[in-house]
Amino acid sequence: MLHFDPQNNLHPSEFLHLGQHGGAVAALLEGHGAVTGVIDAVCGVTAGARGPGAGCLTKEVLLPVRNTHNSIRPSTFTRFRSGFLHPAARSCCCRIHSDAKLKDPFSLAQEDLKNLYEDIKKQLLVSKAELKALCDYYFDGKGKAFRPMIVVLMARACNIHSNRDGGLLPAQRSIAMISEMIHTASLVHDDVIDGADMRRGKNTINEVWGERKAILAGDFILSAASMALARIGNTTVVSVLSQVIEDLVRGEFMQLGSKENENERFKHYLEKTFKKTASLIANSCKAVSILVNSDPEVHEIAYQYGRNVGIAFQLVDDVLDFTSCANQLGKPSAADLRLGLATGPVLFACQQFPELHSMIMRRFGSDGDVDRAWRYVLESDGVEQTSFLAQRYCHEATRQISRLQPSPERDALIRLTELVLNRDK
């Protein structure tokens, strides 16, 4: 067992260690000391904390591993440290937000977001009718506006915490709008890269108008978002949200490759997940906190909430790729396998089906690879372990946001972690 200092400051790429030859995976929730993940043998894990308010890891705990496959001995125990599984830590966490009357986040943010898509379309000023049609295609108002909703709720929660009324500042609402524009531009480009023909239950832009025009539309949406960001006039906010665009590009490059070293794959996967999905939420939450509060600790709370919820959201998405039908997802199931991607359920399944390693390296490109990998994942505890990991990230998000002053918006953000875990599409 590797003992470690919970106050270490580590880069995100250092916060996970995988045991060799199908050893246990212990995944650290970087930032404030929550460790999760159990498989079949004892494995060391290095833990880190960044920013103010880093919490301490608690007493060592013995946890039995579920016997879901013959290759795992029922008597096997995984030994790891957790700030959430220890009884004292659980009771502490409950005390933090036991007064929370958990609000419905969608209804609470509805008033602030009711004209969101109309306002976005006003940003996409263009005289050419076809380009306008492309840019407006995904802004049809039928989505749940998940990212803008988080941004609006975080803004109001930070405003109240900072001894202001809960009213939304115009610049904070602009950040909510910009977050949706950046997200949508990334979807347009992703669909081109993946050759996808369905998105949200309808044909993709590249399927309707072709790849070249789709790329240009994504670029135009991104440029309009950048113009809106510049108009906010806060250089720190501009810097924070510019990081999102860099992370999106780096994350896409990471997705194009696989790690030959089996011990590096899970670290690679989680870092890619942060850059492609969680960075936008984390940095948008941080940006709205900067506009109302000069305390770096508040900025870190907002950032860490967004980061942990964002990673959990993607982990659940990766689970749904194996457990939901295509009609629920709005896109074909097993889409990630067909793209050659090894997500959490596959990486966990490798512990019980080592033959998956060679499939990962050839990106499931041989005949029958996708079907066999699909079967292995469902026969393993890969889905269960990925869901458990998402739960740990949501627990950490709850712990972070509970440090803000009580408010309906703070409580709605707590409630949102439950909705993330329980969604089915």
Can you give the pLDDT at residue 331?
A: 52
Fold of 101-422: Farnesyl Diphosphate Synthase (1.10.600)
**Low pLDDT (below 70) residues in the chain:** 1-102, 325-332
Can you give the pLDDT at residue 199?
A: 86
Entry pTM:
0.78
Domain ranges, ordered by start, for the chain: 12-95, 101-422
Can you give the pLDDT at residue 425?
A: 77
- Tell me: the pLDDT tens digits for 28-45? 344 333 333 332 222 223
Can you give the pLDDT at residue 165?
A: 87
SS3 readout for the chain: CCCCCCCCCCCHHHCEEECCCCCCEEEEECCCCEEECCCCCCCCCCCCCCCCCCCCCCCEEEEECCCCCCCCCCCCEEEEECCCCCHHHHHHHHHHHCCCCCCCHHHHHHHHHCCHHHHHHHHCCCCCHHHHHHHHCCCCCCCCCHHHHHHHHHHHHHHHHCCCCCCCCHHHHHHHHHHHHHHHHHHHHHHHHHCCCEECCEECHHHHHCHHHHHHHHHHHHHHHHHHHHHHCCHHHHHHHHHHHHHHHHHHHHHCCCCCCHHHHHHHHHHHHHHHHHHHHHHHHHHHHHCCCCCHHHHHHHHHHHHHHHHHHHHHHHHHHHHCCHHHHCCCCCHHHHCCCCCHHHHHHCCCCCCHHHHHHCCCCCCCHHHHHHHHHHHCCHHHHHHHHHHHHHHHHHHHHCCCCCCHHHHHHHHHHHHHHHCCC
